[in-house]
A and B are shown apart, each in its own frame.
Chain A
Amino acid sequence: ANELHSDMTAFDSPAFAEDLLTFMGLNRIEDNDSDDEGSAGGYLPNDAWHKLGAEAETYFRRAPSFHFMLGSFSADPPVPRQ
Chain B
Amino acid sequence: MSQKHRRNDPGPSQADARDEDFVLTPSQMASQVQRNLERRSQGQVDQKVSELVQFLLVKDQKKIPIKRAGSQCFPPPPKKVIGDYRDVYPEIVNRAGWTLQKVFGLELKEMDTKPHMYILVSTLPRLPGDSFKQDDRTAKLGLLAIILSFIFMKGNSVKEVAVWEMLRRLRVDPGERHEVFGDVKKLVTEEFVRQKYLEYLPIPHTDPTEFKLQWGGRATKETSKRHILQFVAKVSGPLEGWDSKIKDLDIPGVRAGRRQGTVCAFRGHGL
Contact = CB atoms under 8 A, between A and B. Distances in A.
Contacts of B133: 64
Interface string A19-33: 111011000000000
Interface in B108-141: 120-123, 125-128, 132-134, 137-141
A55 B232 CA distance: 11
B141 A62 contact: yes
Interface residues of B, number: 71
Report the interface size class on chain A: 35 or more
A65 B200 CA distance: 25
B168 interface: yes
Contacts of B61: 65-67
Scoring B2, B58, B142, B150 by chain A CB atoms within 10 A of each residue's CB, the highest score goes to B142
Contact of B222 (A3, A8, A53, A61): A61
Interface stretch (B20-28, B37-45, B85-93, B236-244): B236-244
Contact of A13 (B123, B150, B176): B150
B212 to A, nearest CB: 14
Given A14-B169, A20-B170, A50-B142, A59 B227 contact: yes
Contacts of B137: 53, 65
Contacts of B140: 53
Interface string B155-173: 1000000100110111111
Interface of B: 1-3, 7, 9, 57-58, 60-61, 63, 104, 106, 120-123, 125-128, 132-134, 137-146, 149-150, 153-155, 162, 165-166, 168-173, 176, 178-181, 221-223, 227-228, 230-232, 234-237, 239-241, 243-244, 247-248
Ranked 5 nearest A-B pairs via Cβ? A40-B171, A53-B142, A7-B244, A52-B142, A56-B145
17 contacts: A3-B244, A13-B165, A18-B169, A19-B237, A40-B172, A40-B173, A41-B171, A41-B178, A50-B134, A50-B138, A55-B142, A58-B126, A59-B227, A61-B223, A64-B133, A66-B57, A79-B1
